[in-house]
Amino acid sequence: MKRRTFLQALNLGIASATLYNGAGQAMTLTSLLDNKTQHKELSYHRIQEIKYSTVHMKYPRLVGKNARLDLHGYGPNVEICCITTDKGAMGWASLRGSRRDAEQIAKELLGKKVSEIFVADIGTLEARHIPFDMALHDLAGIILQKPVYELLGRKTPYLTDYYSGMIYFDDLEPSEKPAGIDRILEECRYDYEVGYRQFKLKIGRGHKWMPYKEGLQRDIDVTNAVAKAFPDCGILVDGNNGFSVDQFIQYLEGIPSVKLFWIEEPFHETVADYQKLRSYIKKTGRITLLADGEADPDPKLLQELFEKKLLDVHLTDIEGLGFTNWRKLMPELKKLGVQASPHAWGSLLKTYYTAHLTGGLGNTITIEGVTSTSEDVDLSGYKIQNGQLVPPSTAGFGMPLLKKI
């Protein structure tokens, strides 16, 4: 996670009073009693030990380049932390930030009651403890024997669309004998069999990897080919800031019959450029969503773009912002009429955390899928049904560790 993103996330929650003061809504007596019971259960447990390790997530294929970055490889080793209580409960999840920083902060948690650090209907109370945010949600779910989405208020989770986020510039690989567009279509067929009914296509080949005109034409040809081959699927495109606004309009002019579900980060966001793009979209009668906020997000600028109705979908990373901060942000997005789709690329764990955020709070237009297998984690609880991701009803995030820590 980039330092700028981490610091911005901290600024959203300098202290629990800043994060949550006045955020409560009218509650039923049942809700108040339930919160009191949950608080009592969490207070029985004290944090006894925090351990660190990694889990390996394996992609089904090599993931290639995007507009800015070279090969993405076969899957990451994800840093994790495991939090154990004196009563034997254990929760685990991705470690947010560096292990070195977390180890310094962990000293503040040892011996504390879980209820002093985490409240079920709020999340992690202190911004300093946010490196352990995901793991604390898992731990609370384990202690209370509830899935995380139920901690957020839903007995039955909200479900939403689920897209494959793994379709990169694999037509350009291997470099000595590029596979061409057929490789992209093969990958889409694979992902279709997995259960996806939305594909996000990386575009912007002419930014770095091909001559501009040749790269633009390849972007156009790939988009048209996938839309033709999979007429029952939604098409999303992601430029990774690889275009100018005028270049991106050229791309749109090359795919006049393709109905785009959304356009993601075509260029680095500015008010003027999004005004020009929005005007063009309206003039041409297209219906599509504009999504941004993943790469080095500027919260003030994003707020302005959403308030001016120049963006439709908020993309900040699920771990970059933090689960608790996403819980706070979601009601604010609803007030603005803005949908969410937290960035999850890199790790299927992030995808599954997003499924619980969505399951409890809704307001998520689609979820980014990062198809993976793992010998370290039992991922079998999550299902794809009718193109939607369904989280398990088991406690916490519902991903038992298979690896001994």
At the fourth CATH level, the homologous superfamily of domain 161-390 is Enolase-like C-terminal domain (3.20.20.120)
Extents of the domains making up the chain: 3-145, 161-390
Task: Judge whether 135 and 85 are in contact, CB under 8 Å.
Answer: no
For residue 8, the model assigns a pLDDT of 44
For residue 31, the model assigns a pLDDT of 66
For residue 34, the model assigns a pLDDT of 76
For residue 32, the model assigns a pLDDT of 64
Q: What is the pLDDT of residues 257-299, one digit of tens each?
A: 999 999 999 999 999 999 999 999 999 999 999 999 997 888 8
pTM: 0.92
Phi, psi at residue 56, to the nearest 5°?
-95, 130
Per CATH, the number for 3-145 is 3.30.390.10
Q: Residue 242 contacts by C-beta under 8 Å, 6 or more apart in sequence?
A: 66, 67, 68, 203, 204, 206, 207, 208, 266, 267
Which of the 8 DSSP states describes residue 113? B
For residue 317, the model assigns a pLDDT of 96
Q: Pairing state of beta strands 234-238 and 260-264? A: parallel
Judging by beta carbons within 10 Å of its beta carbon (0-12, 13-18, 19+), is residue 111 exposed, middle or buried? exposed
Rounded Cα–Cα distance for residues 12 and 328 (Å): 9
Task: Judge whether 353 and 323 are in contact, CB under 8 Å.
Answer: yes
pLDDT per residue rounded down to tens, the chain (405 residues): 443 443 344 344 322 223 333 333 445 555 666 788 899 999 999 999 999 999 999 999 999 999 999 999 999 999 999 999 999 999 999 999 899 999 999 999 999 999 999 999 999 999 999 999 999 999 999 999 999 999 999 999 999 999 999 999 999 999 999 999 999 999 999 999 999 999 999 999 999 999 999 999 999 999 999 999 999 999 999 999 999 999 999 999 999 999 999 999 999 999 999 999 999 999 999 999 999 999 788 889 999 999 999 999 999 999 999 999 999 999 999 999 999 999 999 999 999 999 999 999 999 999 999 999 999 999 999 999 999 999 999 999 999 999 999
Q: What is the pLDDT of residues 197-217, one digit of tens each?
A: 999 999 999 999 999 999 999
Phi, psi at residue 369, to the nearest 5°?
-95, 140
Task: Judge whether 141 and 148 are in contact, CB under 8 Å.
Answer: yes
For residue 19, the model assigns a pLDDT of 32
Complete DSSP assignment for 222-260: HHHHHHHH-TTSEEEEE-TT-S-HHHHHHHHHT-TT--E
